[in-house]
Amino acid sequence: MTSPLAERIQAGFMVESLADTDDAYRRALRETLIVSGDTEFVSAAVLWTALDRAPSLNSQMSLLAVIQDELGHAHIAYRLLADLGEDVEALVYGRAARQFKNPYAFDFALRSWSELAAVNGLFDRAGYTLLGDIHRHTSFGPWKRALAKVAKEENFHIRHGETWIARLAADPATRPEMQATVDWMFPAALEFFGLPDSLKHRQLQLEYRIKGHGNDALRQQWLATAVPFLTSCGLRVPAHHDAARGEWVLDFPFPCAFDADVRRYDFTRPVEWTAVLERWKARGPDCGWFVDVLTRGRGLFGVARG
């Protein structure tokens, strides 16, 4: 049963203010913006953990530029939430770390520069796929306009990641580590897109065109650029294009068991999505201190807001 607003939106209506919305629209938009804001916010802490792995002054500066961008993107999502009436102070500073809605893969500190390269080349590509879809299709005008900046900058992050992945994969000395990184971060990136469409009950985000495509289509879009790139670097990737089906196919059971201690997906142990949801809910090893690092300075010097 679609609402009158959903029908207008399907016919091309753009939402510009709260007065245009109904309760269900606001709930769907709020949820999507919180996931976006939290993901960008926490990613800044994740990236920070690679600063002491940067192989040169230039690469350190590039990484700092990426961190600055991610905080700027979080700012955009949280600003939009504030304009929707959300108490953003409480949202950012009042929640426990485990309540942040970032993807599971951003609950891990980076151990190497190759992991930083994969964050930029694979995870930011997932972010770009998800936000690019919103940029092109969303019915919420203020977000559509704000995402012009985000798309430009995430594109730079992906190029940064690709440059380093290609470089580390080309050198025999660093290639095994780059391959081992891709082995766990490739499936982890696929999890960014969430449950398959077949397991989703009602897709308010699509009815209200908060975003344009479902999880399955967006996962395919990601595969369509990630797999050819990684393969061109000579890296092994557990996925291929099936010309007869006209889609990208994974060469391993998805989802499958993951050992967070050694960061390894076990392709011999398929699991149900309920097990994945439990793993996500239990959170990864570095979830707590990431949020602490980002929020502990609140209120210093009497500056509580702005």
**Residues in a beta bridge with 248:** 241
Beta strands 256-259 and 247-250, pairing class: unpaired
x/- mask, other proteins, residues 124-163, rule CB under 8 A, reads ---------------------xx-xx--xx----------
- Residue closest to 149 by CA, chosen among 69, 84, 204, 262: 69
**Residues in a beta bridge with 249:** 240
Cβ-based nearer residue to other proteins, 147 or 166: 147
Chain positions 251 to 290 lying near other proteins, rule: CB under 8 A, are none
The one segment of 17-25, 55-63, 121-129, 270-278 that binds other proteins by CB under 8 A:
17-25
247/244 Cα distance (integer angstroms)? 8
Cβ-based nearer residue to other proteins, 69 or 162: 69
Closest distance to other proteins from the beta carbon of 213 (Å): 25
Q: What is the DSSP string of 214-256?
A: -HHHHHHHHHHHHHHHHHHTT---SEEEETTTTEEEESS-SSE
Closest distance to other proteins from the beta carbon of 86 (Å): 12
Cβ-based nearer residue to other proteins, 17 or 99: 17
Closest distance to other proteins from the beta carbon of 231 (Å): 31
- Residue closest to 29 by CA, chosen among 213, 277, 206, 149: 206
The tokens of 140 are what? 């919420």
Cβ-based nearer residue to other proteins, 156 or 267: 156
The one segment of 16-24, 180-188, 219-227, 268-276 that binds other proteins by CB under 8 A:
16-24
Chain positions 188 to 217 lying near other proteins, rule: CB under 8 A, are none
Residue 257, φ and ψ in degrees, nearest 5: -65, 145
Closest distance to other proteins from the beta carbon of 150 (Å): 9
Cα distances from 179 to residues 101, 114, 185, 284, in angstroms, run 29, 9, 10, 22
125/223 Cα distance (integer angstroms)? 10
x/- mask, other proteins, residues 69-108, rule CB under 8 A, reads ---x--xx--x--xx-------------------------
Cβ-based nearer residue to other proteins, 69 or 191: 69
Chosen residue from 2, 68, 99, 231 binding other proteins by CB under 8 A: 68
Contact call for residue 64 and other proteins (CB under 8 A): no
The tokens of 101 are what? 């809605």
Cβ-based nearer residue to other proteins, 77 or 189: 77
Residue 94 CA to chain centroid, in angstroms?
22
Size, binding site for other proteins by CB under 8 A: 19
Q: Who's near 240: CB < 8 A, 6+ residues apart? A: 227, 248, 249, 251
List of residues contacting other proteins (CB under 8 A): 17-19, 68, 72, 75-76, 79, 82-83, 145-146, 148-149, 152-153, 303, 305-306
